[in-house]
Amino acid sequence: MDPRKISFFIISCLVLLLLLTAFSREGSDEAGNEQEGFFWGNTGFKYPTFRSFLDPEPAVVTPVAQIDSIVGNIESMIVEEALPEAQPVVPDYSKIDTSKIRRIEYPGDPATFVRTIRTAFTSPTCRIIHYGDSQLEGDRISAYVRNRLQRLYGGEGPGFIPIKQVYDEVKAHVECSDEWLRFAAFDRNQPMFEHGMYGAYASVSRFTLPADSLRTLYPDSIPLTTAEFTVSFSDRSYRKLRDFKIVDLHYGNVQSPVSMNVFHQDSLIMTDTLEPGVEYRNLRLQFETAPTALRFEFTSEISPDFYGLTLDGKKGILLDNVAMRGASGTIFAKMDGQNYRSMMGHLQPRMFIFQYGGNAVPYLKDSAAVRRYSKYIMSNLNWVRKKAPEAPVIFIGPSDMSTRVDGRLQSYDLLPYVNEQIRERCLENGIAFWSMYDAMGGSNSMPHWVDQKLAASDYTHFSPKGTRVISELFFTSLYLDLTQYAHE
């Protein structure tokens, strides 16, 4: 082809694209967001105006120096597993500038609130339930905080373990036979059970379909199903997680008798029958030394709902990691209250940590939607608190998150308002609040965390190294308060 014709065609296209900027105008899209382009009613096509094309907006500023100062300040405090197991790790903050640590905000008198936490931590056993979204998957954040607290106040074991795994668990190793299924109250790809009984951890493992489905498939006679799972300690996490002595199997909604055998290293140690009954129940196994491999075998026509295992020590800190992929903290009140209360009555949590907001941020279109969400999540938190009213609650707000706007990475516009609205609702309702967003460095901090390998390339989740940093920032904030208000 003639090079002159090609050049003329390219130049003509560029001139045409430039001329189109003269007809572009400012308007609103279907969600009400201001943008430039061509609009037909509420429908729009993004395109720059001539003015913005010649005078683009300044680049988004990332607070690099501030982030480096925050991370560099805290890195020396991160506890690695190489320390001797028997050595308690009492933090020495004389080597860092504690004024750079984002502190927890408390409702009312901080000293009173912190004393309640300290009393819980120093009680014979203290179960903490850490609910959150996918930021917690793989025991992230929970694992580090658990290890820190167990090294200070005693305690062993990883706490809650689901039977049917949907992502890689590092806190314990579970192998299931093929029959097992998972049903979760927070799984948007599944309809919720009509009975709403998901236990305290909001998910259920079953080795058959639910009863109604089985009776439809087998109208005459439902066949027996045999299934098993094996649980053993993991060598990929902290050593204290391996030394559990108490194994609790949490279950309910037993609709047909279930024969059960339990083996330890292939030796039969228990035979029992789970009798029909819809209420929450618990089966406990206790050991003098930590079991290395437990195998549970079940046979029944209809599987019970298994709410999971808890692998605990006999005293000290017990911390459950409950990661809910895709959740925004708004599913609790949809579950059956009596079932949830019954399981809470057995678990006896002494403290809650909630960590939500990130999944909601991309879908909140205006300030009114943010305010509705903050009220909605608070109604769910209060629903939980009524089931364990004596337990103090700390809410960890969302991290900074980046999205692309006109080709540039920047924080979601409404993220600071989401953080502030949740903070206000928490403090109004007697809940402490820690701003992860501000602890990271605030607006547009995530790109630098990604650049420094502290966060993943999705500009949302932390890397293993970043998880240790943000976890230590939270722990340090909490421990500084425990020390400051110890004698007030």
pLDDT at 67: 86
At 279, which CATH number? Answer: 2.60.120
Taking only the tens place, the pLDDT of each residue in 322-355 is 999 999 999 999 999 999 999 999 999 999 999 9
Higher pLDDT, 73 or 45: 73
Structural domain ending residue among the three candidates 251, 286, 314: 314
Least confident residue range of 150-164, 226-240, 359-373 = 226-240
Q: Which band of pLDDT confidence, cut at 50, 70 and 90, is reported for residue 258?
A: very high
Give yes or no for a contact between 445 and 115, defined as CB atoms under 8 angstroms apart.
Answer: no
Structural domain ending residue among the three candidates 263, 285, 314: 314
Cα–Cα–Cα angle for 399, 404, 405, rounded to 5 degrees: 115
Taking only the tens place, the pLDDT of each residue in 417-435 is 999 999 999 999 999 999 9
pTM value is 0.89
Kindly report the length of the chain. Answer: 488
Residues 481 and 387 in one domain: yes
> Torsions phi, psi of 300, nearest 5?
-170, 165
Percentage of residues in the chain with pLDDT exceeding 70? 86
Cα–Cα distances in angstroms (integers) from residue 153 to residues 90, 92, 123, 213, in the given order: 10, 16, 9, 47
pLDDT at 54: 58
Q: Which band of pLDDT confidence, cut at 50, 70 and 90, is reported for residue 66?
A: confident
Structural domain ending residue among the three candidates 287, 314, 341: 314
Residues 324 and 390 in one domain: yes
Number of domain units in the chain: 3
Instruction: Name all contacts of 96-100 with Cβ < 8 Å and 24+ positions apart.
Output: 97/73, 98/476, 98/480, 100/69, 100/70, 100/73, 100/74
Least confident residue range of 73-87, 158-172, 285-299, 427-441 = 73-87
pLDDT at 237: 78
CA 457, 461, 463, 465 torsion: positive or negative?
Answer: positive
pLDDT at 82: 47
Residues 358 and 441 in one domain: yes
Q: How far apart are the first and last CA of the chain?
A: 86
Per-chain mean pLDDT for the chain:
90
Q: Which band of pLDDT confidence, cut at 50, 70 and 90, is reported for residue 274?
A: very high
Strand partners, 354: 131, 395
pLDDT at 110: 96
pLDDT at 14: 64
Percentage of residues in the chain with pLDDT exceeding 90? 73
Burial of 484 from C-beta contacts in 10 A (0-12 / 13-18 / 19+): middle
Residues 129 and 211 in one domain: no
Q: For 301-449, list the strands marked E by DSSP.
A: 305-312, 316-323, 349-355, 393-396, 402-405, 408-411, 432-434
Q: Which positions ≥6 away from 150 have C-beta within 8 Å?
A: 156, 240, 316, 317, 319
At 336, which CATH number? Answer: 3.40.50.1110
Residues 246 and 217 in one domain: yes
Mean pLDDT confidence for 82-92: 62
Residues 214 and 252 in one domain: yes
- pLDDT at residue 31 above 50? no
Residues 347 and 401 in one domain: yes
Q: Which band of pLDDT confidence, cut at 50, 70 and 90, is reported for residue 94?
A: confident
Residues 306 and 325 in one domain: no
DSSP assignment letter at 239: G
- What span, in angstroms and rounded, lies between the C-alpha atoms of 177 and 297? 10
Residues 429 and 414 in one domain: yes
Q: Which band of pLDDT confidence, cut at 50, 70 and 90, is reported for residue 108?
A: very high
Domain range enclosing 44: 3-54
Mean pLDDT confidence for 143-154: 94
pLDDT at 62: 75
Residues 206 and 243 in one domain: yes
Residues 408 and 337 in one domain: yes
Taking only the tens place, the pLDDT of each residue in 210-225 is 999 999 999 999 999 9
- pLDDT at residue 384 above 90? yes
Give yes or no for a contact between 315 and 150, defined as CB atoms under 8 angstroms apart.
Answer: no
pLDDT at 254: 97
Residues 164 and 281 in one domain: yes
Strands in 25-28's sheet, in edge-to-edge order, are 25-28, 34-40, 43-46
- pLDDT at residue 148 above 90? yes
Cα–Cα–Cα angle for 269, 270, 275, rounded to 5 degrees: 170
Token code pair at residue 443: 């607006």
